[in-house]
Amino acid sequence: MAVNVCHFLPSQLSSFIPTCRLLALKSSKARITCSAKPLSSHMEARGKFLEFPHASAPIRALMFDLVSTVENRLDSQLSPCTLPPDVQYFENQNGNAQASLQIRSGLNSSSIDFILGSWIHCELPTGALNITSLSAYLNSSTDAPNFLIELIQSSPTSLIFILDLPPRKDLVLDPDYLHTFYESTKLDTYRQMLEKVPEVRPYFSPTLYIRCAVSPTAIMVRIETESGESARTEEIVRSYVDPVAKELLEIWLNQCARAEREVEETDKAYLEKRDSVNRSKTIEIDLASSFPRLFGQEVADRVIGEIRKVYTGT
């Protein structure tokens, strides 16, 4: 899942929200460092990821808390991140675009397929673009929704916030699914609460695929404050974005990740096909066009190749 933010980037760079999502092993907050040298170990790369070095203070705190919560609740169901260090952290030749990626696959006995996460920072002619994200994908042993959060900040006073439990079934054909995961959990109240904040406006992705893949309760908003009012943006993140994100993660952990759902063999085949199409589309939209331009073809091929291995299971 992703959202197109090509209007932030030069030369019509399209669909630049990474499908690389974030998770890490247990660790305390890491000290921010500025070294641009290649990372040589998994521990060093994991520490780099946990820094969220370019995010604003409230976003950094939120993402660290979300990682910690997912980690504490699901760690026993996950394998360690085995990505090469030069895929866990990478940058372009000029050093003006950097990214950190963590992927942890679920154990065979788990309903977790994999957890992905990232932060990306790039210096653009119009200013810095910073993206942090976390998502969790379930496997075909359950049909429960996945989890997604992305924060895209193009300036200290402009932020796009995406939060959703993307469905894995057709909600028209399965009203019980709609009721179980979206109506009974009252997910729409969180969107309604956020949209009452004066600086918050609905955000509409220019990519139609994104719009049809999210749930009807998806939070997709733009937060815009007055020029020079970066403190207000941070206040909105602390007072509204932070608690809403944590509430929805708790709902996902309790109602989706732990839900015991009986899935028939025919339904498993449907889920596997749907998930496969969704992941292929994600790579096409998120990475194939933007990563070569941001990081160069060699780096892009290396990173996308590792992501494909996780997505396809090969």
Summarised one tens digit per residue, pLDDT across range 12-52 is: 233 333 333 333 333 333 333 334 455 556 677 677 788 89
Backbone angles phi, psi at 186, to 5 degrees: 55, 40
Q: CA-CA distance, 184 to 172, in Å (whole number)?
A: 16
Tell me, yes or no, whether 179 lies in a domain. Answer: yes
Residue 198, pLDDT above cutoff 60: yes
Residue 228, pLDDT above cutoff 70: yes
* 124-149 pLDDT tens trace: 888 899 999 999 999 999 999 999 99
The model's confidence at residue 55, banded by pLDDT at 50, 70 and 90, is very high
Tell me, yes or no, whether 124 lies in a domain. Answer: yes
CATH number of residue 208's parent domain: 3.40.1500.20
The model's confidence at residue 289, banded by pLDDT at 50, 70 and 90, is confident
Count up the domains in the chain and report the number.
1
For 201, the domain range is 6-312
Q: CA-CA distance, 250 to 261, in Å (whole number)?
A: 18
Tell me, yes or no, whether 46 lies in a domain. Answer: yes
Residue 7, pLDDT above cutoff 50: no
Q: Is 110 within 8 Å of 123 (Cβ atoms)?
A: no
Tell me, yes or no, whether 278 lies in a domain. Answer: yes
- Beta strand ranges found along 87-205 (DSSP E): 89-91, 97-105, 112-124, 127-138, 147-155, 158-164, 200-202
Residue 100, pLDDT above cutoff 90: yes
Q: Which amino acid is at 135?
A: S
Lowest-confidence region among 45-54, 95-104, 200-209: 45-54
Q: Which residue has the tokens 């997709």?
A: 220
| % of the chain surpassing 90 pLDDT | 68
Tell me, yes or no, whether 1 lies in a domain. Answer: no
